[in-house]
Amino acid sequence: MVAHAQTIHKQRHPLLAFAARWLFTTNHKEIGTLYLWLSFGLFFIAGSMAMLMRLELFEPGIQFIDPIFYNQVLTLHGLLMVFGVVMPAFVGLANWQIPMMIGAPDMALPRMNNFSFWLLPFAFAMLLSTIFMEGGAPNFGWTFYAPLSTTYGPPSTDFFILGVHLMGISSIMGAINIIVTIINMRAPGMTYMKMPLFVWTWLITAFLLIMVMPVLAGVVTMMLTDRHFGTSFFDAAGGGDPVMFQHIFWFFGHPEVYIMILPGFGIASQIIPTFARKKLFGYRSMVYATISIAVLSFVVWGHHMFTTGMPLFAELLIMYLTMLIAVPTGVKVFNWVATMWRGSMTFETPMLFAIGFVMMFTIGGFSGLMLALVPADFQYHDTYFVVAHFHYVLYPGAIFGTMAAVYYWLPKWCGNMYDERLGKIHFWLATIAVNLTFFPMHFTGLAGMPRRIPDYSLQFADFNRMSSMGAWLLGLTQVLFLYIVIKAIRKGAKATDQVWEGAEGLEWTIPSPAPLHTFQTPPIIAEDAVH
């Protein structure tokens, strides 16, 4: 493959050379760039779907789109945001930063790195193509509960299943690559307890991915056999159990929530010490808290299923364990605040996004504690309160975290500085828009408005108008973000060696070894490093 790429590179046609460079690259920085741009492109597609839903919800009654198509759009929005936006963005950041942070020349398995990326465009093209198929796209929600997805799913469900398999294979290969890189390729002297927090959070996330993605693969394979091979895993008429689907799905789904948030914790732990001009408070406790969150995430899946009729003992146990997760999460928030306390703080755009991440993620955490209570969850379940909760966790946690990382590391990536004034405008517009969109949903949910339905009672109209206007503003802010990034890459002011003035010990100002682009020579393995 590499020899073929080099042959094409020698040809004169610039288009072929450009295609060969990006198709066959094994450079971790270029693959990281591919992941980030794919994520950004899907972000606009999934965001457009959200804006379409909010257009329908601007007024009560069926206004613009058919309820079945509304559910198709809702399903694709959720699947693309989870699998196509958040996860590829974090994998892209891992590809860019982890080798440089640990002093490695590249990722340990560069050709597999290339392959794991190029599976994704095909997976998402397959998923999006279902819109144009007979029967339309899947319309059973991003959780694809049986029997909606098995007995009653449209024919396009099979393409969805294959797309999920491809995404899962990509995630598992990416996770293996990250684990092998971190364990085997750290520079001599880079012990585990000297690794930057972003590296730690991704190491833990990678183990989570390897453990839960096969569970997702298993449940979609069971769906496939129920649909076409006569099995009855989830069909009560054949001795199966639809609730078993929920148990298997959420055994994957709840750790997946932490897969989407842990790298954001690592990003905040890199940015806040930089702009507070202080070392991170409680480094070891941050590592142990992250490990605790990852372990506990495997034993609380049932809090998504309190209303399915679980035994009282199971409900109590899962309720207490769910509330227990708040302890290591609280340790993290305390440590970030303690790092900022009496620091010489400045408020450049990455720091603003990091602080916004901490504050709004905490709001999402508090509403999560409310949902952890069994009697309360019976009332909140399947209302817009749940929508408000997980968007307050995931938008500030995953999206704000990614944006903070892009602003923070962009000068390192392209050598140019972004426009600070536009960056701050982006932050404040996005913060206003996020709160205008999702905060009213707490009230509509507490008043009983059900989610996933395109019509609603007149009493919810005012709050829904607020949410819709916030969603459209949020969509416009992403256009501004795209402009800021392109402007920085094309004609931004040259970044200095010390981008953030007065910030000492900034981990990426240390020059990293030049990447070995094709890995024709064996990688350097830190055999003599202290493990």
Instruction: Reply yes or no on whether 77 is catalytic.
Output: yes
Instruction: Reply yes or no on whether 142 is catalytic.
Output: yes
In this prediction, residue 6 carries a pLDDT of 54
Q: Domain 31-509, what architecture? A: Up-down Bundle (1.20)
Marked catalytic residue, from 227, 254, 391, 426: 254
Q: What is the DSSP letter of 509?
A: G
Instruction: Reply yes or no on whether 307 is catalytic.
Output: no
Marked catalytic residue, from 28, 165, 186, 303: 303
Q: Are 419 and 487 in contact (CB under 8 A)?
A: yes
Instruction: Reply yes or no on whether 504 is catalytic.
Output: no
Bridge partners, 450 (sequence order): 383
In this prediction, residue 5 carries a pLDDT of 52
Marked catalytic residue, from 28, 186, 278, 304: 304
Q: Are 376 and 426 in contact (CB under 8 A)?
A: no
Marked catalytic residue, from 25, 26, 130, 269: 269
Marked catalytic residue, from 56, 226, 256, 348: 256
Domain coordinates in residue numbering, the chain: 31-509
Instruction: Reply yes or no on whether 66 is catalytic.
Output: no
Marked catalytic residue, from 30, 56, 106, 377: 106
pLDDT digits (tens, 9 = 90+) for 94-129: 999 999 999 999 999 999 999 999 999 999 999 999
Distance CA 529, CA 511 (A): 19
In this prediction, residue 493 carries a pLDDT of 85
Q: What are the mean pLDDT values of the chain's consecutive 10-residue runs (531 residues total)? A: 52 77 91 95 96 95 91 95 95 94 92 95 94 91 92 92 95 96 92 93 96 96 94 92 95 94 95 92 94 95 92 94 94 95 91 95 93 94 95 93 95 91 96 96 95 93 96 95 94 80 45 44 44 39
Instruction: Reply yes or no on whether 303 is catalytic.
Output: yes
Distance CA 166, CA 22 (A): 20
Residues constituting the chain? 531
Phi/psi of residue 232, each to 5°? -135, 45
In this prediction, residue 7 carries a pLDDT of 53
Bridge partners, 383 (sequence order): 450
Marked catalytic residue, from 28, 54, 77, 278: 77
Q: Are 62 and 455 in contact (CB under 8 A)?
A: yes
Marked catalytic residue, from 33, 75, 150, 171: 171
Phi/psi of residue 416, each to 5°? -120, 155
The separation between CA 80 and the C-alpha centre of its own chain, rounded to angstroms, equals: 10
Instruction: Reply yes or no on whether 329 is catalytic.
Output: yes
Instruction: Reply yes or no on whether 186 is catalytic.
Output: no
Instruction: Reply yes or no on whether 256 is catalytic.
Output: yes
**What are the angstrom distances between the C-alpha of 436 and each of 49, 384, 463, 465, 502?**
18, 14, 9, 10, 36
Instruction: Reply yes or no on whether 247 is catalytic.
Output: no
Amino acid, res. 496: T
Instruction: Reply yes or no on whether 332 is catalytic.
Output: yes
Q: Are 371 and 303 in contact (CB under 8 A)?
A: yes
Q: Are 484 and 60 in contact (CB under 8 A)?
A: no
Instruction: Reply yes or no on whether 171 is catalytic.
Output: yes
Q: How many CA atoms lie within 13 A of 237 on its CB side?
A: 4
Phi/psi of residue 497, each to 5°? -60, -35
Marked catalytic residue, from 142, 145, 192, 472: 142
Q: Are 234 and 241 in contact (CB under 8 A)?
A: yes
Marked catalytic residue, from 329, 383, 468, 477: 329
Q: Which residues contact 87 (CB under 8 A, 6 or more apart)?
A: 171, 259, 260
pTM for the full model? 0.91
In this prediction, residue 300 carries a pLDDT of 93
